[in-house]
Amino acid sequence: SQQGEEDPQALSIQEGENATMNCSYKTSINNLQWYRQNSGRGLVHLILIRSNEREKHSGRLRVTLDTSKKSSSLLITASRAADTASYFCATAPWGNNRLAFGKGNQVVVIP
Partner 1 sequence: DAGITQSPRYKITETGRQVTLMCHQTWSHSYMFWYRQDLGHGLRLIYYSAAADITDKGEVPDGYVVSRSKTENFPLTLESATRSQTSVYFCASSEWTGGFFYNEQFFGPGTRLTVL
**Binding footprint of partner 1 on the chain (CB under 8 A):** 1, 30-31, 33, 35, 41-45, 48, 50-51, 88, 90, 92, 96-104
Q: Please, what's the b/e burial string for 8-36 (b: 16 or more CB within 10 A of its CB; e: otherwise)?
A: eeebebeeeeebebbbbbeeebebbbbbb
Q: Could you tell me the smallest distance in angstroms from the CB atom of residue 91 to partner 1?
A: 11
Contact indicator for 109, 14 with CB cutoff of 8 Å: yes
Q: Could you tell me the smallest distance in angstroms from the CB atom of residue 52 to partner 1?
A: 8
Q: Which is nearer to partner 1, 78 or 94 (CB)?
A: 94
Q: Which is nearer to partner 1, 5 or 15 (CB)?
A: 5
Q: Which is nearer to partner 1, 15 or 48 (CB)?
A: 48
